Chain A
């Protein structure tokens, strides 16, 4: 096993009754990579991700996340990954500081470490003014950034982002991607689902899921060459049409 591979998936399948939501997907993700996981709604990307983060048991196939098996070692996986959902789920009725403290606490960080992390995060995000305000009062973009930082609080090896930019304006999205780059630069592997094709261009490599299968997987540049188009959006459209 190559130590640089932080996610290794082969033949991973999830069935709901007769319906195959994820159909024998295989791929690998390297350390520090920004891996884009693309697909239309209902293509199976969320289901696939849930199997990788240990909250949904696969029907068949193999997968290792951070070196741990998704069947038997979900507890170890959970300690080594961060997760941010499309709802930017923080507690609205807790202040910024309280949210950070709480999430630091459930990941088992020491009091001292939490305090350090808290001050560091607040300064980095420029939230000093609102550190003691309820999260409910923050604009969506700030919640999103805070939510991302919170998912990194325990310095996970991999962070899973489930459509992290839904409903945010383009400038905020751009800033958010700068945060992602920074995290990747520090060695954190980023696994991100999105259906914004411009975001796909920011990824090191992307996979495109159509109807439960991975139909394409490469760097954005090579994909565009392969499909002889100018943008990822066209790659996606071409793929989707070919299937139909």
Chain B
């Protein structure tokens, strides 16, 4: 035990004397959560649009007024002919153009039908479809207002309610994701680097010739990272509660337990990486390419797994982050208990055991 404490103390010296480690450990989580929370958002606000009104009657004016009044759009240009549409898109500022047909108002009255064309700059496809949805919604709203006194024979009124995230805040989705990425980064990358550093320096050899057993060396090396990862998870949860008002509806204890499980899975991965890489650089590359990219891209953090091609969906199953994100979302946003995430928890547990088994097998007790 005394040896262990001495070992862990040495590990903390390494961490606290290395500015890069410190930054990754404490700067990154805060920076990432603030970035994702404030800067990166899927909502649209004050998108610049232009209007091409060929009709210029009372109805079109009213609709334009409605659009201008929403804080989603700001009308920055009124154009007069169709030929200007192309050039205005090319300038890049305007993301959408609304084109009202000739005699819009009178068509509406006479023929019960009029057309407004919504052209969006689809170089950013997500943005384009969001804009088009928002505009459609505004138009439908207007229609409903106008037809208030008219009764149809029948009518389907979809009433949607956004459950668990009523305001559709992006930060609800980013908090679990960022937490996953950070824990993966700290646990897997930092440990694999710190173990390979001992190999590179030649100190691993000295440790293996000492009476310390190999597993004591490994446990001593990963222990500080377990501790720091837990602190990181706490900081992220506190930030999300107090800065972004993201609730933790479920049990904090369960969240903590699941986080520790995920941390252990990632640590096992980190150890596995350190057994197959000889230098710190290799360890870092493998961690970044082999772990971070899939964690960000294939875990459902940013891109929904359901809309991926089948092969990618299959691959996503072997990514621990996928299961952890499901668990965190469930606990934080839906307030579910262990019963509902039992499957995911067991999968993580199984992964942790497999990775640990593999690294023990790979770990060369006797250096060759």
Contact = CB atoms under 8 A, between A and B. Distances in A.
Nearest to A88: B202
B63 interface: no
Given A79-B211, A108-B3, A102 B205 contact: no
Interface string A87-101: 101111110001001
Interface string B200-222: 01110111111111000000000
A56 interface: yes
Nearest to B16: A93
Q: Is the interface of B mostly helix, strand, loop or mixed?
A: helix
A56 B209 contact: no
A92 B201 contact: yes
A62 interface: no
Given A56-B368, A98-B13, A105-B6, A81 B209 contact: yes
A12 interface: no
Interface in A67-114: 75, 78-79, 81, 83, 85-87, 89-94, 98, 101-103, 105-108
A54 to B, nearest CB: 7
Give the size category of A's interface with B. Answer: 20 to 34
A50 B364 CA distance: 14
A214 B96 CA distance: 84
A161 to B, nearest CB: 12
Interface centre among B10, B14, B205, B209 (most CB of A within 10 A): B209
Contacts of B367: 50, 55-56
Interface residues of B, number: 25
B112 interface: no
A57 interface: yes
A57 to B, nearest CB: 6
B167 interface: no
Interface in A97-149: 98, 101-103, 105-108, 134
- Among A75, A87, A91, A106: residue with most chain B CB under 10 A: A106
28 contacts: A50-B366, A54-B366, A55-B205, A55-B367, A56-B368, A75-B213, A83-B205, A83-B209, A85-B205, A85-B206, A86-B202, A87-B201, A89-B206, A91-B13, A92-B201, A94-B10, A94-B14, A98-B10, A103-B206, A105-B2, A105-B3, A105-B6, A105-B7, A106-B7, A106-B207, A107-B210, A108-B2, A134-B17
Pairs of residues from A and B, 8 with the lowest C-beta to C-beta distance, nearest first: A105-B6, A87-B202, A89-B202, A83-B209, A89-B203, A93-B17, A78-B211, A79-B211
